[in-house]
Amino acid sequence: MNNTSRRRFIKTTAKSVALAGLTGYLAGCYKTVPEKKIHQIGLQVFTIQKPYQNDYKAALRQVAEIGYTTLELGGPMGDSLEEFLAFLKELGLRPLAGGASMSGFVESTQAVIEESLKMGKEWIICYWPWTDSKEGKTLDDWIKVAEQLNKIGEQVKKAGLKFAYHNHDLEFEITEGKIPYDILLDRTDPALVAMEIDLYWIIKGNQEPIPYFEKYPGRFPLWHVKDMDNTEERSFACVGQGIIDFPSIFERAETAGLKHMFVEHDRPEDPMECARVSFEYLNNLLNA
């Protein structure tokens, strides 16, 4: 090899090594960037109760057009279960969750399970811990609720479904020096009972979700995403139009164990518009 050829060889080899090194470096950089998790956005159908009752097909068609993909809802609408499920499939909407109050489970947990299986739901939710009002409850009453939830969760798990408990603000009213929600988390089996945390109600109960995510990681796979207005009453607001700091809360989504979220508003003035602006806010937040 003459000097000219040698110099050309060295120059070409150096470029190749540098390129290989750069490629390896860039690959290493990309590996350190976590893959962005895009969550599907669901709707608690109670949010659009009036239009849903008036014309469920028109209401659900609008829900699908907005961009929602999953639903939390009760039983089927229309003439038959088959027709209703076929319509949901046509729209690309999945009936993911639904449930009952404790009264419904006491009456027949199996009936709740059977309806959920027929609907193709994955999650069964307990929406209220009592068979009566919340008045006069003791710490021992809350301990008994935890025991009941474990029993229901075991029955639900045997049926191949998942079970979760949905909070309001009553779980955060100090009872005999304790927070009842802590009792439920401490005394329920995580393998049997998950939590569907309502972000509005925990704040209405003068607590914050993030400390719970950190103390009980992975226990909150389901979220009700509901906002709070800036009034003395601290009433409901469409998501993104109130005072709840959703960006900070969603930063802890992995710690919480978030799998599914459902937009909700208990008394919207314009249900479909509230569903739309709530979706747009969350979609922008999650895809920013």
Distance, CA of 276 to CA of 281 (rounded, Å): 9
131 and 206 share one domain: yes
The reply to whether 93 and 223 lie within a common domain is: yes
Shared domain check, 111 and 128 = yes
Same domain flag for 120 and 213:
yes
Which pLDDT does position 30 carry in this prediction?
Answer: 31
DSSP result, 100-111: E-HHHHHHHHHH
Residues ≥6 apart with Cβ < 8 Å to 196:
97, 123, 125, 164, 165, 166, 167, 220, 222, 223, 224
Same-domain status, 207 and 265? yes
Residues 262 and 172 in one domain: yes
Is residue 131 domain-shared with residue 20, that is, in the same domain? no
Please check whether residues 4 and 97 belong to one and the same domain. no
Domain co-membership, 210 together with 231: yes
CB under 8 Å to 24, separation ≥6 — which residues?
A: none
What pLDDT, on the 0 to 100 scale, is given for residue 269? 97
- pLDDT tens profile 109-158: 999 999 999 999 999 999 999 998 888 999 999 999 999 999 999 999 99
Task: Give the model confidence (pLDDT) of 92-104 as tens digits.
Answer: 999 999 999 999 9
Q: 250 near 224, Cβ under 8 Å?
A: no
By residue count, the chain amounts to 288
Mean pLDDT confidence for 256-268 = 98
| pLDDT tens column, 138-152 | 999 999 999 999 999
Q: What is the pTM of this model?
A: 0.86
The 3-state DSSP class for residue 143 equals helix
Q: What's the domain range around 146?
A: 37-286
User: Do 237 and 175 belong to one domain?
Assistant: yes
- Number of domains into which the chain is organized: 2
Same domain for 79 and 14: no
Provide the CATH number for the domain around residue 263: 3.20.20.150
My answer on whether 13 and 138 are in the same domain is: no
Burial class (CB in 10 A: 0-12, 13-18, 19+), 16: exposed
User: Phi-psi bin for 217: left (phi > 0), alpha (psi -120 to 50), beta?
Assistant: beta
pLDDT at 31 over 80: no
**Does residue 164 contact residue 195 with C-beta atoms inside 8 Å?**
yes
